[in-house]
Copies of this chain bind each other. A is one copy, B any other.
Amino acid sequence: MKNIMIAQSGGPTAAINATVAGAISVALSSSEVGKIYGAQNGIQGVLNETFIDLKEKIRSSQELELLSHTPAAALGSCRLKLKDLKKDETQFEKIIDIFKKYGINCFIYIGGNDSMDTVDKLSQYCAAKNISDIIVVGAPKTVDNDLVGTDHCPGFGSAAKYIGVTFSELERDCHVYKTKAVTIVEVMGRNAGWLTAASSLARINGAKGPDLIYLCEPVFSTEQFIADVKAKLERQDAVLVAVSEGIMDENGKYISEQVQSGMLDAFGHAYTSGSAKVLEELVREKVGCKVRSIELNLMQRCAGHIASATDITESKMLGMKACQCALEGQNGVMAAIVRKSDSPYVVEYTAVPVNQVSNKEKKVPDEFINEHKNDVTPEMVAYLLPLIQGEVNQEYVNGIPKQIELY
């Protein structure tokens, strides 16, 4: 019999628990599997030996379904990166000792590129030491959609749906008054603009806005931004702008750092603010009309109530794939999605060597950004649209979504 351990790492999303549920479902259906453990707070929980007996915690298919619809990381998360294998093996020895102590044969780690680094190092260590009875496998997760090796990442589709829906509602809200007004909405993404691009989905049923979309990949020019806003204001009252958290000037300096560096708060500290807040002040200064900034903040990554059904299904499938790979002995791979076509939307689930994924970032390619660098192209919309299809059937109790707690 094989014992399995599952853990989650990095920033939580609305879909990461569905990957756990998928892995559990394959483990439960396999006659090879004995224990199914969850490590609390990722690899940190392995080191601390804080484990959850998942067979004990999840006793019905209803509870497994509930886990799929519960946002954030039900097993907890961490941001611990393992040390360089060549310099210090002690962490790896300790982890393998703990795995042996608990009879763990399969370790499934769900996370982004830092977490895939853990999968890579740990699987390399096992291979180098000829530890053939411990298989380490990764499953992708990130709202930012910046993992290479997979068409897209679980968590991204739900965040994209939240962003598309929210922009469609903000678009209605911003247009009720006959007043010149600019609303600047900051979307997550420090190094990749995928989430900001999802604001374009608000227009899919004919709405006009967002009127301007700035991803973090092209150089951001504040002069061009003000010119773009002024041009829009000449033709309409309200202007809705989507902007990435991580927009940078030509010198590679974050826009969010520019104004803030000149500012001190009442305690004499540098004041932190987002890119949208900086642009808000800029519009107030250079345009003079009514202006406000909005940050979608944590809501965009944890809004389970508006998760994409496609995303939740794919997230489950990737958990299943990862568990299958682990049971089949495929050490050092990450479960991944290959897109066969946009319309009809067809995907296949596969496994890629995790060393092709770890510590890399997938940026938005040029052909997905328009010539003026202030919007996305139809190719981007075609890429995004399938990922937000379908609404989840969440169970509400007392008007609030029901959620499961594992610890």
Residues on A facing B (Cβ under 8 Å): 8, 12, 14, 41, 44, 70-73, 76-79, 161, 164-166, 168-170, 172-178, 183, 201-202, 204-205, 207, 258-259, 262-267, 269, 271, 281, 284-285, 292, 294-299, 301-306, 308, 385, 388-391, 396-403
A391's closest neighbor in chain B, by CB?
B396
A308 and B399 form a contact (CB under 8 A): yes
Q: Of B14, B172, B284, B294, which one neighbours A72 at CB under 8 angstroms?
A: B172
| Given contacts A71-B172, A78-B177, A303 and B205 within 8 Å (CB-CB) | no
Q: How far is the CB of A1 from chain B (nearest CB, A)?
A: 31
Question: Which residues on the B side are within 8 Å of A302 (C-beta)?
Answer: 169-170, 172-173
Q: In the assembly, what is the distance between CA of A359 and CA of B165, in Å? A: 35
Chain B residues with Cβ below 8 Å from A70 are 172
A399 partner, pick from B263, B264, B299, B390, beta carbons under 8 A: B390
Known contacts A12-B172, A170-B298, A403-B205: does B263 contact A259 (CB below 8 Å)? Answer: no
Which residues of B have CB within 8 Å of A169? 14, 71-72, 299, 302-305, 401
Contact status of A281 and B267, CB under 8 A, knowing A76-B178, A403-B168: yes
Contact B295 A295 (CB under 8 A): yes
The reply to whether A271 and B269 form a contact with Cβ atoms under 8 Å apart is: no
Q: Which residues of B contact A204 (CB under 8 A)?
A: 397-400
Q: Contact between A265 and B281 (Cβ–Cβ < 8 Å)?
A: yes
Give 16 new A-B contacts, CB below 8 A, not counting A170-B299, A259-B265, A388-B400.
A12-B172, A71-B172, A76-B175, A165-B401, A169-B299, A172-B302, A172-B304, A172-B403, A201-B400, A263-B263, A263-B271, A266-B281, A292-B297, A308-B399, A385-B398, A389-B398
Q: Do A178 and B78 touch across chains, with their CB atoms under 8 A apart?
A: yes
Q: With contacts A41-B178, A172-B302, A398-B204 known, is A269 near B281, CB below 8 A? A: yes
